[in-house]
């Protein structure tokens, strides 16, 4: 099959790119190895900037995703230190929690409803990407060959587009990349429906533990930490649930649902190369997860929208070389990366002096900030 554009990955980055390509006459394939709805390891906290990004594209898109039913509205986050002292931050932007199974399927549904020209190919894994005379060739697990003038890698932290065309993989072991795990729980009696909870722990002070409530007495519970801490994240998560003096009592009568799943978080804040001859990378494939918070859905959406603008420009100029792709990379670095750079510095300080955050929460608690 011959396309103008192939988007690999139909998560938030891929779905947003497809949505933003609505008013073009381009023949676009949106490919995902999974069928939707599909699960994805995540805290399920949809950042407020996600809706702001969608509203910039078209206010109607933000409204559609905001009014989605399968959500738990969130107004504030409680930060608890390892002595059990807490403070909270009220969010000024609209935000909610929703399982990625539901949220990603809804965003994809919106993209496919709005952009009817998209050829969506679920359960199709891209196994190989290479340059051919007509542009880019993708070989699928079904042994089909798809070709296009341009390819967009929205295929997450282990991006095959990045690996095959940039000839490099994201080194998820290097400093400042993280791994996190999550599991659903029911019966957490202490939770408040519109409040997320973030916990520091004495044993693993450079990571954080979260409890994010969903609908129907279910909470998303997880733990993430920097990879070069050398900590086995899953083992640490289970240990904290059993023996942390602040957390363990909360889980005494709670029941786990399903299994613990985890994934890496490729953190942003560096001017990485995210373009090349006939390709662009977005979302996790471009390492755009925010340091400290670990949120990446908003930047996946922002970068998808920016990528669609670049695609239009490429086809208008009939040029697909890396020089012509530069405005996309400059826009990502000048906006998303720029914001994340200062967070990266703060994260370095926090990891070097983990007691600082613990102390700060204690002070804010004492002066009753946000309690
Ligand atoms: C445990 C954990 C907790 C997190 N919590 C939060 C949170 O609460 N809030 C937040 O904003 N962010 C969170 N993040 C980060 C967030 O999950 C990612 O930043 C976000 O999913 C990035 O979206 P994406 O579209 O780039 O990639 P993804 O959502 O990973 O989507 C990539 C898609 O590509 C497909 N794909 C991959 N390879 C191929 C292939 N070869 N062929 C075809 N398809 C392919 C996959 O099936 C997938 O659907 C968390 C991450 C983790 C690991």
- What is the residue with the minimal CA distance to atom 19 of ligand 1? 296
Residues having CB closer than 6 A to ligand 1 are 8-14, 31-34, 40-45, 47, 125-126, 154-156, 160, 180-182, 222, 262-263, 265, 283-285, 289, 294-297, 300
Unique residue bearing structure tokens 């930060």: 79
- pLDDT, residue 346, reads 85
Mean pLDDT of 96-111: 98
Query: Which of the listed residues 48, 49, 158, 296 should we mutate to test ligand 1's pocket, taking the one with most ligand atoms within 8 A of CB?
Result: 296
pLDDT of 166 above 70: yes
Closest CA to 150 of 141, 161, 160: 161
Residue range 172-189, pLDDT digits in tens: 666 568 999 999 999 999
Q: How many CB atoms lie within 10 A of CB 56?
A: 13
Q: Does domain 5-71+96-172+267-348 have CATH number 3.30.420.40?
A: no
% of the chain beyond a pLDDT of 90: 88
Per domain, the residue ranges of the chain are: 5-71+96-172+267-348, 178-266+350-366
Per residue in 336-346, pLDDT (tens digit) is: 999 999 888 88
Give the model's pLDDT for residue 90. 95
Question: What pLDDT is attached to residue 192?
Answer: 94
Q: Would you say residue 215 has pLDDT above 70?
A: yes
CATH classification of 178-266+350-366, choosing from 3.40.190.10, 3.30.1180.20, 3.30.9.100, 3.40.50.12780? 3.30.9.100
Long-range contacts of 315-318 (CB under 8 A, 24+ apart): 315/4, 315/24, 315/26, 315/149, 315/150
pLDDT tens digit sequence for 120-140: 999 999 999 999 998 999 999
- pLDDT for position 95: 97
Contact 50, 298 (CB under 8 A): yes
In this predicted structure, what is the pLDDT of residue 349?
Answer: 85
* Global pTM value: 0.96
């Amino acid at each position: 099959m011959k396309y103008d554009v192939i988007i690999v990955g139909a998560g938030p980055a891929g779905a947003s790119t497809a949505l933003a390509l609505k008013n073009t006459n381009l023949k676009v394939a949106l490919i995902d190895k999974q069928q939707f709805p599909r699960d994805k390891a995540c805290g399920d906290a949809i950042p407020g900037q996600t809706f702001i990004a969608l509203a910039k594209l078209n206010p109607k898109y933000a409204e559609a995703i905001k009014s989605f039913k399968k959500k738990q509205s969130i107004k504030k986050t409680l930060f608890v230190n390892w002595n059990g002292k807490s403070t909270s931050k009220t969010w000024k932007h609209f935000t909610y929690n929703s399982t990625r199974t539901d949220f990603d399927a809804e965003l994809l549904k919106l993209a496919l409803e709005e952009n009817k020209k998209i050829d969506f190919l679920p359960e199709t894994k891209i196994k190989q990407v290479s340059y051919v005379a007509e542009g880019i060739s993708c070989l699928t697990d079904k042994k089909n060959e798809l070709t296009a003038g341009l390819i967009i890698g929205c295929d997450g932290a282990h991006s095959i587009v990045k690996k095959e065309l940039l000839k490099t993989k994201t080194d998820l072991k290097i400093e400042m990349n993280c791994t996190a795990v999550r599991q659903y729980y029911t019966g957490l009696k202490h939770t408040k429906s519109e409040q997320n909870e973030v916990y520091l722990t004495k044993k693993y002070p450079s990571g954080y533990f979260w409890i994010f409530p969903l609908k129907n007495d279910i909470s998303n519970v997880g733990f993430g930490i920097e990879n070069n801490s050398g900590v086995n994240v899953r083992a640490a998560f289970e240990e904290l649930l059993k023996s942390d003096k602040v957390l363990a009592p909360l889980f005494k009568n709670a029941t786990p649902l399903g299994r613990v799943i985890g994934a890496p978080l490729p953190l942003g804040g560096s001017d990485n190369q995210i373009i090349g001859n006939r390709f662009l990378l977005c979302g996790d494939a471009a390492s755009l997860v925010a340091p400290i918070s670990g949120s990446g859905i908003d930047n996946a959406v922002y970068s998808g929208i920016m990528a669609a603008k670049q695609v239009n420009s490429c086809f208008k100029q009939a040029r697909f070389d890396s020089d012509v792709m530069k405005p996309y990379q400059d826009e990502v670095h000048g906006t998303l990366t720029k914001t994340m750079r200062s967070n990266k510095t703060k994260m370095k300080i926090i990891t070097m002096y983990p007691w600082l955050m613990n102390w700060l929460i204690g002070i804010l608690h004492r002066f009753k900030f946000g309690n």
